[in-house]
Every structure is written in C-alpha cells, then in structure tokens.
Amino acid sequence: MNKKSGITALCLLLSICSLIGCLFLHRRMSVDSMTVAPAQTPAQTGDLVTRTATTETTVPPLQATETTVATTEATTAAPPRNGFAFTRQQESQLDGMLAGFGGQVAALYKDIETGYTYSYNADTSFFAASLTKAPYCMYLFDLAKDGKCNLEQKITYTEKIGSDGTGKVKNSPFGTQFTVSQLIEYTLRYSDNAALRMLRGVYPASGFQKYAAGIGIKNTAAIGLITNSRITANDAAVYMQAIYDFVGSNATYGSLLRDHLIHANNKWFTSRYPILHKYGWADKAFHEIALVEAPHPYILVLLTNHEDGTEADFAMFRNFSKAVETIADHE
C-alpha cells in the first residue's frame, strides 16, 4: 500500500468512527430525554390531584342537588298561593250555612300563608267559656321559656279551689300536689277548671292580660279571670295566630303546647289533617277554635250561643269545617 492509499484509508476510518460516535451520542441524548420525562411527574401529578379534587368537590353539589330535590318535593306538596281567596259565591254559600244554624253565630277562616280571612259576625262578643285556657297556657309556657315559670313547681289542691266543672283534679283528695306541667296538661287536654284555678293562684290573670295585649288583643278588660272572659271571632283568630307562631318558634315549649292541643278532648271540627284546638261549652256558649295543619295551614273559629249539645249542634262544627276544607283544598 502506498502512502496516498494509507492516508485515504485513515480518513475513511476516522469518518466511520465519527459517524459511530454521533450515532451513540444521539441515542444517549434520546435516552436521557426519556429519563428526564418522569422528573415532570410532580406537575402532572398535581394536575391529576387537582382534577381528582375537583371531581371530589363536585360530589357535595350533587348531594346538595339531591337534597334540593327532596326539599322541592316537600314544598311542591304545598306551593305558595299568592292572592288566594274564597270566591264571592263560596263566601255566600258559607254565609247561608251559618245563618241556617240559628241563634247567634260567628265564624272565621284565616289562611295563615296569605292572610286572607273570611269572617261572619266576627266582632260579635260571646261568653268565652274555656276558650281562653289555650292562650293562657301558652303564656305560662312563654314564661317557662324565659325562666319565669318553673314547670316542676308543685301546687297543692285545697278545698278552696273547689271541685266543680270538668277535669281530673277534682277526683283527687284535697292535699294532693300537682306540678305546674301536670296542671297545664289537664287544663288543655281535659279543660280542667280546678287545674286552671290552681295555676291562676300562682300566675294571676293580670299577667295574662298584659301578655294578651302584647299579642294583639285590644279589649283585654274582657278577659276577666280567664274563664269568665268575653271573646269575638277576631280575638280567637289573634290567639290562634299567636299559638301558631309560638309552636313554630319554640322547639321545646312549642311542641308541648302543640301536643296538648292536638290531644285535647271534645274535638268537633273534622279534618284529615292534624287539628290543634280548644272547645268552650257553658250556658249560652258552644264554641271551638282551631289551627288546622293542612298543607296550607289555617285558623278556624265557630262561636255560638247554643248550649244543649244536641246532634244538630255538633253537626254545625262538622259541616262548617268540611265545607271550609273542601274550598281551601281546591283553590
């Protein structure tokens, strides 16, 4: 091999080595770049966490949506009805029914949601009999709520209290002690006259008169000693509205009041819904006042000067309450 050929061979060898080196370097760089990629994983993981977190945080809104649906379903059963009122024809029909009862009659219906009120002789005054026992006991529960009435306080049944009228206390021997809570229960559920007098001895009617003025009763002088009160249908509606508000705003004492009134005896109004009520029955007095827990709750009042308690008298309350419910449920 001559010198020129040797140089040519050497150059060719160097070129081949250089090419191999370039190929090796390119492959190494490719491998390195593939190895670097995992170093970006934190950023990618962060994105995944963000997406996962977003996915997880979207779960509560889905649950909230389900809750909203449930709430909506409950509300849908009784949607607000702005502008609700009986038609003139319906009012006229009720007027005719009430006039047909004979004697002195007053009545009232009030839709609590809208404030619409149908009334008949609503300013006519009647002997209240036992009707005011309901708001009086609400007054005691209100005192208890404020720490001014101890429901566990014991009061002794004495001969001075007497044993006339309705109730359970009169069947107990003199000297028997009852708690304020028991006496309220007897007053509301059994219209117990002795229980009321025992309560009134500790919590006088004068305090209730001031309380009644505070809830909107204008003629508080007519309250007297509670059972000898005078009352109008408008007064009765004020009392029942206050009871509705009290029951709705006081979990403990409101529920006690509600329970007693739902289970009060001599319920003459009829309804397929729960009725909180109080009756009054004495000479020239045959009454009932009520709060009907319908989907659209309402107040119902019927006052009369009937007193015999005949089937026709009881039918007045059934017929009036049925007629009103039919209208109120089919607005």
**pLDDT tens sequence across 220-275:** 888 888 878 999 999 999 999 999 999 999 999 999 999 999 999 999 999 999 99
**Per the structure block, which two tokens stand in for 51?**
């997406």
Q: Rounded to whole angstroms, how far apart are CA atoms 232 and 179? A: 32
Q: What is the dihedral of CA 287, 293, 298, 300, to 10 degrees?
A: -10
CATH architecture, range 88-128+230-329: 3-Layer(aba) Sandwich (3.40)
Residue 44 has pLDDT above 80, yes or no: no
All structural domains of the chain with their residue ranges: 88-128+230-329
Single-letter amino acid, residue 180: V
The predicted structure's pLDDT at residue 284: 93
**How many other C-beta atoms can be found within 10 angstroms of the C-beta atom of residue 111?**
20
pLDDT band at 137 (very low <50, low <70, confident <90, very high): very high
pLDDT at 29 over 70: no
Instruction: Report pLDDT for 225.
Output: 80
pLDDT at 47 over 70: no
176-206 confidence digits (pLDDT tens): 999 999 999 999 999 999 999 999 999 999 9
Radius of gyration of the chain measured on its C-alpha atoms: 40
- Residue range 118-126: average pLDDT? 97
Rounded average pLDDT over 141-148: 98
The predicted structure's pLDDT at residue 70? 30
Determine what percent of the chain is predicted with pLDDT higher than 90. Answer: 69
pLDDT recorded at residue 102: 95
Q: Write down the pLDDT at residue 51.
A: 30
Q: Is 103 left (phi over 0), alpha (psi -120 to 50) or beta?
A: left
At residue 16, the pLDDT reads 52
Check: CB of residue 231 under 8 Å from CB of residue 289: no
**pLDDT, mean of residues 63-86:** 47
Which of 52-66, 94-108, 189-203 has the least mean pLDDT? 52-66
Give all strands (DSSP E) within the chain, no chain letters: 105-111, 117-120, 126-127, 154-156, 177-179, 230-231, 275-282, 285-292, 298-304
The residues, ordered by sequence, that sit 6+ positions from 237 with a Cβ below 8 Å of its Cβ are 108, 110, 117, 122, 299, 301
- List the Cα angle 213/236/278 in 5-degree steps: 120
Q: How far is CA 87 from CA 84, 123, 330, in A?
A: 9, 22, 12
Average pLDDT over residues 51-74: 30
- Round the average pLDDT of the chain to a whole number and report it: 82
The Cα 38–Cα 159 span in angstroms is 96
